[in-house]
Amino acid sequence: MIKAITLTNAPENLKLTSPRVQKDIVSAIVSECLHVIFENVRDSFFPILVNESRDISVKEQMLVVIGYVKSGCILEHFISVIHVLNTTAASLKAAINQLFSTHSLSISNLRGQGYDGASNICGTKNSKIETFFTTVHRLVNIVGGSTKRSDLNRENQRKKILESLSVGEISSEQVDVIEMIAIDTISTGKRADILELDDQLDMYILDMHTSEDFEELQGISDLAQKLIVKNKHEVYPLVYKLVTLTLVLPVATAPIERAFSAMTYIKNCLRNRIEDQWLNDSLIVYIEKDVFDKIENDVIMECYQSMRTRR
């Protein structure tokens, strides 16, 4: 087929067999595959799975898999293999931050992390950070648990802002930003969500006990899918969010292991000098073939043509 179409029928100057052209084609495919994946992830909670190991050329490689819930199902996709100088926590963190920045992923939506083999990620507890979060937790509970304390906190905060404004420590523009934050928003907003969740859970439990549609479910994923089918995710949005958060918590790193297995086919002894970007692109196309199969050829050709000026 390749011989008949590319080498026989194609014009003499358009056989698309040069290494540069082939890499551009694969790069265009990867660009469109990642576009599909990240459009699904964009506003969703997601986990990441990370593993690192030396490849056949003795390079330290970090593989990253991202997941998200769609229509009640947890989906996982391989998105990158990154060459890192070492596997310290700081090095892996920097690489992950760069990956998030490149693809405009919001770390605020990150809800689960799994690191297989990166034992140095656990490290030791930072006492200052631990004290900070303990203090914040206590503060939110104390202030949020009493309307009187919430009002007192708002008044104290207002006085501090006025005092800082009078001595020139902050500007009026900064006051506008400050008024949008602080403890009042956290305490009142979170308390309202918790109260609403309690109400939804009571109604949800009663509904489940009286509905035959939710009998014989095999797990949380089945429950999430059934909630979608019966439009219960709109009736109980906070309950569905709770189920979604449960689904995105990583409990195994099997997708990462499959990616490493695939890398042994792409970068073997005969191709141990394959460059990092070519390895990354080849792996994504090979592993995410299901995503690739759903992309129209015209979309890929348009992406390829827009990459550079060609004859």
Q: Which pLDDT belongs to residue 86? A: 78
Number of domains in the chain: 1
Burial of 263 (0-12, 13-18, 19+ CB in 10 A): buried
Residues of the chain with pLDDT under 50: 1, 118, 177-178, 180-181, 183-186
Residue range 270-292, pLDDT digits in tens: 566 678 888 899 889 999 999 99
Q: Are 283 and 263 in contact (CB under 8 A)?
A: yes
d(Cα 62, Cα 57) in Å, to the nearest integer?
A: 14
Q: Which pLDDT belongs to residue 292? A: 92
Residue 218 lies in a domain: no
Residue 286 lies in a domain: yes
Q: Which pLDDT belongs to residue 290? A: 92
Q: Which pLDDT belongs to residue 231? A: 92
Q: Which pLDDT belongs to residue 240? A: 92
Q: Which pLDDT belongs to residue 186? A: 47
Residue 195 lies in a domain: no
Residue 100 lies in a domain: yes
Q: Are 36 and 285 in contact (CB under 8 A)?
A: no
d(Cα 248, Cα 98) in Å, to the nearest integer?
A: 22
Q: Which two tokens stand for residue 302?
A: 């348009």
pTM of the model: 0.69
Domain housing 267: 2-124+250-307
Q: Are 221 and 247 in contact (CB under 8 A)?
A: yes
Residue 182 lies in a domain: no
Strand order in the sheet with 110-116: 73-83, 60-70, 46-54, 110-116
Residue 136 lies in a domain: no
Residue 48 lies in a domain: yes
Q: Which pLDDT belongs to residue 180? A: 47
Residue 240 lies in a domain: no
